[in-house]
């Protein structure tokens, strides 16, 4: 039972570098999300997707991009990394957000440090 899988778990980037955080789910969920969690803070939504080919911005999208070419995969691209992007990133999915009772499933997180 893989659930939501994120890679890499840890990464150190230099300022100005780019990278992609991978996220895959094997539960055939339509709705997927990317959050960041800064130390001692709650979750902030970066981007979300309601299905393959459809993505939309959350509250903190600047400096990030996403794509959703398949139901399973939802990669997050960081362009020109900045120290402000040092954070823990969580990918999450749910079957159908139109049904409010559906549980949201989270990956284990990706710890990113920009130096």
Partner 1 sequence: GDSVTQMEGPVTLSEEAFLTINCTYTATGYPSLFWYVQYPGEGLQLLLKATKADDKGSNKGFEATYRKETTSFHLEKGSVQVSDSAVYFCALSDGSGGSYIPTFGRGTSLIVHP
107 part of the interface to partner 1, by CB under 8 A: yes
Which part of the chain contacts partner 1 (CB under 8 A), choosing from 19-27, 37-45, 61-69, 71-79? 37-45
Which is nearer to partner 1, 43 or 82 (by Cβ)? 43
Choose the stretch contacting partner 1; rule: CB under 8 A; options: 11-19, 21-29, 71-79, 92-100: 92-100
Query: What is the rounded CA–CA span in Å between residue 115 and residue 105?
Result: 30
Smallest distance, partner 1 to C-beta of residue 46, A: 12
Q: Alpha carbon 7 to chain centroid distance?
A: 10
Alpha-carbon span 10 to 77, nearest angstrom: 15
Here the tokens at position 28 are: 């055939």
48 touches partner 1 (CB under 8 A): yes
- Say whether residue 64 binds partner 1 (CB under 8 A): no
Within 13 Å of residue 41, how many CA atoms lie on the same side as its CB?
A: 11
Beta-bridge mates of residue 51: 54
Q: How far apart are CA 53 and CA 55, in angstroms?
A: 7
Binding residues for partner 1 (CB under 8 A): 4, 31, 33, 41-43, 45, 48, 50, 58, 90, 92, 94, 96-104, 106-109
């Amino acid at each position: 039972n893989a659930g939501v899988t994120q890679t890499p778990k840890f990464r150190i980037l230099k300022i100005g570098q780019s990278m992609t955080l991978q996220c895959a789910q094997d539960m055939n969920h339509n709705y997927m999300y990317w959050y960041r969690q800064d130390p001692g803070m709650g979750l902030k939504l970066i981007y979300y997707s309601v299905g393959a080919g459809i993505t939309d911005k959350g509250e903190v999208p600047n400096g990030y991009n996403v794509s959703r070419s398949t139901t399973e995969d939802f990669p997050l691209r960081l362009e020109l990394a900045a120290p402000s992007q040092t954070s823990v990133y969580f990918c999450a999915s749910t079957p159908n957000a139109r049904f409010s009772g559906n549980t949201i499933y989270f990956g284990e997180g990706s710890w990113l440090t920009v130096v």
